[in-house]
Amino acid sequence: MLVDAISQNKEFLEHTLASTIKVDDFTARLFRIHTQVLEEGLAQSVFLGINRSDYMFDSGVDGTPALKQIEINTIAASFGGLTSRTVAVHGQVLKVLGKPQEASRLLPNNPSRGLALGIAKAWELYGSPSAVVMFLVEEVQRNIFDQRCVENELWNRNIPVIRRRFRDVFEKGSLDEARRLYMDGKEVAVVYYREGYVPSNYSEQNWEARLLLERSRAVKCPDIATQLAGTKKVQQELSRPGTLERLLPGHAEAVTRIRATFAGLYSLDMGAEGDKVAAMAIADPDRFVLKPQREGGGNNLYGEELRQVLEKIRDSPQRTSYILMDKIKPRPALNYLLRAHSPLQVSECVSELGIFGVYVRQGSELVLNEAAGHLLRTKAVEHADGGVAAGVAVLDTPFLV
């Protein structure tokens, strides 16, 4: 509900991202398309969000664990498919080890079904039974089997799926007079982005393809406003006193619960406040994480690297392309990480819990808003950043005690 409210609030996005789009070309290009689509008038009337909010348990000053948000992913949130299979794998391992009771205490989980449910509802509300769902995928698809899990759920519902790249959209995509989107002669009801979240995804032709998609009547997951709602700068702005209350009026209990998950978040905008924050981080870099406006993992800066970068840009507007966040300090646990070409040995590990959420809105009516499952990733404590795709973390399963 919060992400959807942000995506509909042009003034909030414009104000929040004003400093960022001056120095970050990628965010600026996204915002220009957002503005252009609004000026032309939205053809899209059904909106689909598939988000994943990631958390860690912070041990706190007194050792009391508290769930704190790392970030929210509003585009191409991955591993909903593969993690739907992980419970069965770990359950089988426990049974082979002669521990059937322990196997029964693994938390059931099937995000691929929940994600497909949202896509199916958006496809249904689009209102054209012959239209297809288009997965917008990378040139080189390293995570194809994760996507296939969701795709197969759609085929099981007799919803046809095609897979295309930005290049295909540029070469073969078209809009008719009603701005219906066609690919290879097939009307597209839903565009499900599994790329488009980092600058390297975009050539000039790909930017043109993105604009064509955003101008269309097709349901985009996400539309470009929702992608902007997931930026780190928006995350930081939400932590300011009064912001959540303005975005979610009449939902005081929800505001309190959301705010309780926020770690300390700090602006690096030019001015006295930003100067103070930069000096604070340079003086004690191990307390913080420096975050650019990027998705996909492996972008954050820690410790000495954080200090060096901030010292270099502390007097430059370039610093406004980052936010600063308190470093969450989870309590390690001993575990084994099974990875290809790596020795199997006990390691001190920390875990990150992601909660998938799916919503569908038609006009102003929210017709679906559900949690769709979870993702648990575990890695050794010596790795500050990097996830499963980087070969650092592994997929895990919560064990109920």
73 is annotated as an active-site residue: yes
Alpha helices in 157-217 (DSSP H): 166-172, 204-215
3-state DSSP percent of the chain in helix, strand and coil, to 5: 40, 25, 35
Exposed, middle or buried, 14 (CB in 10 Å: 0-12/13-18/19+)?
middle
Among this protein's residues, is 291 annotated catalytic?
yes
Put residue 233 in one of left, alpha, beta given phi > 0 → left and psi -120 to 50 → alpha: alpha
| Residue 49 annotated among the catalytic residues of the structure | no
* 216 flagged as catalytic: no
- 48 and 318 in contact (C-beta within 8 Å)? no
109 is catalytic: no
Neighbours of 15 (CB within 10 A): 11
Given the residues 7, 51, 53, 71, the one annotated as active site: 71
Active-site residue, 215 included: no
Q: d(Cα 231, Cα 235) in Å, to the nearest integer?
A: 7
Q: What's the CA gap between 350 and 333, in Å, rounded? A: 6
Q: Which of 165, 319, 377, 379 is catalytic?
A: 377
Active site includes 102? no
* Letter string b/e over residues 226-236, b meaning 16 or more CB atoms within 10 A of that residue's CB: bbbbbbbbbbb
**Residues 73, 63: contact at Cβ < 8 Å?**
no
Question: Whats the size of the chain, residue-wise?
Answer: 401
Contact by Cβ (8 Å): 346, 334: yes
Query: Helices marked H in 41-189 — which ranges?
Result: 83-96, 100-103, 111-126, 144-156, 166-172
| Residue of 78, 112, 239, 321 marked catalytic | 78
From the list 195, 237, 295, 352, the catalytic residue is 295
Q: Which residue among 121, 232, 294, 307 is the active-site one?
A: 232
Tell the burial category of 359 from Cβ atoms under 10 Å away from its Cβ (0-12, 13-18, 19+). buried
- Runs of H (alpha helix) within 193-302: 204-215, 224-229, 232-238, 243-247, 252-259, 272-283
Catalytic residue among 194, 291, 294, 307: 291
Catalytic residue status for 71: yes
DSSP H/E element including 36: helix 25-40
What is the DSSP pairing of strand 181-183 with strand 66-73?
unpaired
Active site annotation includes 52: yes
User: Helix 303-313 to helix 272-283 angle, to the nearest 10 degrees?
Assistant: 150
Find the catalytic residue in 7, 19, 51, 52. Answer: 52
Active-site entry in 7, 19, 51, 73: 73
Instruction: Provide the annotated active-site residues.
Output: 52, 71, 73, 78, 232, 291, 295-296, 377
